[in-house]
Amino acid sequence: MSSEREPVPHFIRNIIEDDLKSGKHQTIVTRFPPEPNGYLHVGHAKSICLNFGLALDFNGKCNLRFDDTNPEKESEEYARSIQDDVRWLGFQWDGEVRWASDYFDALYAYAVELIKAGKAYVCDLTPDEMREYRGTLTAPGKNSPYRERSVAENLDLFARMKNGEFPDGSKVLRARIDMASPNINLRDPAIYRIRRAHHIRTGDQWCIYPMYDYTHCISDALEGITHSLCTLEFEDHRPLYDWVLDNITIPCHPRQYEFSRLELQYTITSKRKLNQLVTEKRVSGWDDPRMPTIAGMRRRGYTPAGIREFARRIGISKSDNVIDMAVLEGCIREDMETSVPRVMAVVKPLKVVLTNFVAGETQSREAGFHPNHPEFGSREVPIAREIWIESDDFSETPPPGWQRLIPGGEVRLRYSYVIKCDEVIKDAAGNVVELRCSLDAETLGKNPQGRKVKGVIHWVSAEHALAAEIRLYDRLFTVARPDSDKERDFHEFLNPESLAVVQGWVETCVRDAAPETCYQFERLGYFCTDRREHRPGDKLVFNRTVTLKDTWAKESV
């Protein structure tokens, strides 16, 4: 794993430094507050790296808190996957996992406090009426006819809401703020609703659930959060966050700061839309390696260090954060360049018969797993009469500058001999199906006498290599911003060629690699072994993580 770089300064980091310097806070407490209604995506990774990263850098704490206030959409599976993802990214939350539902009693008591102070009321408007009374961005709202209910009546009705005396959706508890506020979030927002839904933690204990805005600020305060960091769409909710905390008896008032959401080109970062791809079976699951989910990136072979470096590089600000996929791929490639072993594999095999190699004989040569890391060890690379080479490494009509194999030409087999193509064998349709080559026995570890052979290609011994299914992934969408088109639905931009499955051959030494082990396949890219449940018939399966920049030409024989 490459070592972590210096933190990049940003406005939130500056605020924290100032708060610690001025003595406003002795230590910081942040939190990551996902709703367990889907798997986390790369945008969440940004938020995780920010919240947990700041806590680490400033010797503070970061909580993991599930915002579990929408029981219908939430599940244990999602909650489990989120914990796995945070840990896999290399972070650990402070103490136990927290749940907004842990605070349901406290939240109820604070609502009663608001009612007693005349700052909340039970409202019977229907959803349609509610919308009508709310007003618009340009027109003020008007007061609900239920706004002047007495404290006693409100206390009674709220208790009966809790006790299940009213049907779902028939009443809400609203904060009593200001129906004429220019900020619509302050026009008497609902803070409790009636919903008979089974909750993953509290079961059927409650039939009323607090709303997100009301829950979030109180949860933050109860946990002593100092800096509550969220994305920009919550900026307009901040006055409500502050209003709630200012109007109840709670000793702590965290400050909310907003930063821009990450948007990654050629993919989507919305749990709802990702969920659609899964339920419509456009992908094989939340952890499909084409998905921008943390689980998908993990299966694809992306490394935690690479993702953390990506988060560091894209930074934190309030301006648009639309990032090219190449930035993420670059971080992954950079991390893998120095951290994973290199072996040879052939993904589009073309058979080569070495005519002057004795049938049945095997030779082998030791080769290190990494040119700059002898500590990675080495393996024997066997060679026999028949080998596989990449069909793209042979051409009868090569473009200018071609340094690979041509009829009558020579090329070096990586870690092995120079071979010469003597004969091209074709099928009836004229496709090249086999090459007959001779090897120059004087070229093992040394250059041939009197001539230069520039090209070096990868290969594997046909007799020794392992068959593998190799999954080549491309972008999931064909356009950079699939969900920003107002006219056209994001489904229209799904890339039909985002997955190609090929049967290839890999060196034997990978046979017992644990699931999620990454390799560089020389000259092809980085590949990662898949987990058992994704290997049909326990076949060896590699997912292509990312292609390689072609630096091959500079490397030695």
Residues recognised as catalytic: 35, 261, 271
100 vs 230 by CB, closer to ligand ATP = 230
- Min separation Cβ 42 and ligand ATP, Å: 7
- Min separation Cβ 535 and ligand ATP, Å: 30
Compute how many other C-beta atoms are within 10 angstroms of the C-beta atom of residue 427: 9
Q: Which residue has the tokens 């794993």?
A: 1
| Continuous segment of H or E residues that includes residue 381 | strand 378-383
Q: Please tell me the count of residues contacting ligand ATP according to CB under 6 A.
A: 15
Q: Does 307 bind ligand ATP (CB under 6 A)?
A: no
Q: Does 122 bind ligand ATP (CB under 6 A)?
A: no
Q: Does 215 bind ligand ATP (CB under 6 A)?
A: no
* From 38-46, 352-360, 361-369, 395-403, span contacting ligand ATP (CB under 6 A): 38-46
Residues in 348-387 that interact with ligand ATP by CB under 6 A = none
205 vs 317 by CB, closer to ligand ATP = 317
* From 84-92, 195-203, 265-273, 307-315, span contacting ligand ATP (CB under 6 A): 265-273
Greatest distance between any 2 Cα atoms in the chain = 103
- Min separation Cβ 311 and ligand ATP, Å: 9
Cβ atoms of residues 52 and 62 within 8 Å = yes
| Nearest of 527, 398, 381, 528 to residue 458 by alpha carbon | 381
- Min separation Cβ 329 and ligand ATP, Å: 18
- Min separation Cβ 325 and ligand ATP, Å: 15
Using CB under 6 A, which of 2, 185, 231, 362 touches ligand ATP?
231
Q: Does 304 bind ligand ATP (CB under 6 A)?
A: no
174 vs 271 by CB, closer to ligand ATP = 271
Strand-pairing partners, residue 542, are 470, 529
In 114-153, the DSSP E strands lie at 120-123
* From 32-40, 122-130, 361-369, 456-464, span contacting ligand ATP (CB under 6 A): 32-40
What backbone phi and psi angles, to 5 degrees, belong to 131? -65, -45
Pairing relation of β-strands 525-529 and 541-547?
Answer: antiparallel
* From 167-175, 217-225, 266-274, 360-368, span contacting ligand ATP (CB under 6 A): 266-274
**Residue 134 to residue 144: CA distance in whole angstroms:** 9
Q: Does 262 bind ligand ATP (CB under 6 A)?
A: yes
Q: Does 270 bind ligand ATP (CB under 6 A)?
A: yes
The strand order across the sheet containing 98-99 reads 29-32, 61-66, 98-99
Q: Does 33 bind ligand ATP (CB under 6 A)?
A: yes
**Residue 501 to residue 482: CA distance in whole angstroms:** 25
33 vs 504 by CB, closer to ligand ATP = 33
Q: Does 478 bind ligand ATP (CB under 6 A)?
A: no
* From 130-138, 261-269, 396-404, 447-455, span contacting ligand ATP (CB under 6 A): 261-269
Cβ atoms of residues 231 and 260 within 8 Å = yes
- What is the distance of C-alpha 370 from the center of its chain? 28
The tally of CA atoms less than 13 A away on the side-chain side of residue 247 is 20
- Min separation Cβ 72 and ligand ATP, Å: 15
Cα–Cα distances (Å) from 293 to 187, 414, 470, 506, 526, in that order, read: 36, 37, 21, 28, 19
65 vs 523 by CB, closer to ligand ATP = 65
Strand-pairing partners, residue 527, are 519, 544
Using CB under 6 A, which of 101, 154, 215, 269 touches ligand ATP?
269
Q: If 0-12 CB within 10 Å is exposed, 13-18 middle and 19+ buried, where does residue 181 land? A: middle
67 vs 507 by CB, closer to ligand ATP = 67
Binding mask 42-71 for ligand ATP (x = CB under 6 A): -xx-xx------------------------
The tally of CA atoms less than 13 A away on the side-chain side of residue 322 is 10
33 vs 71 by CB, closer to ligand ATP = 33
DSSP labels, 437-466: EEEEGGGTTSPPTTS----EE-EEETTTPE
Q: Does 179 bind ligand ATP (CB under 6 A)?
A: no
| Continuous segment of H or E residues that includes residue 191 | strand 190-194
Q: Which token pair is 147? A: 């706004």
Q: Does 34 bind ligand ATP (CB under 6 A)?
A: yes
Please give the residue whose beta carbon sits closest to ligand ATP in the complex: 43
| Nearest of 435, 434, 386, 379 to residue 411 by alpha carbon | 435
* From 40-48, 248-256, 388-396, 414-422, span contacting ligand ATP (CB under 6 A): 40-48
Interface positions with ligand ATP (CB under 6 A): 33-35, 43-44, 46-47, 230-231, 261-262, 269-272
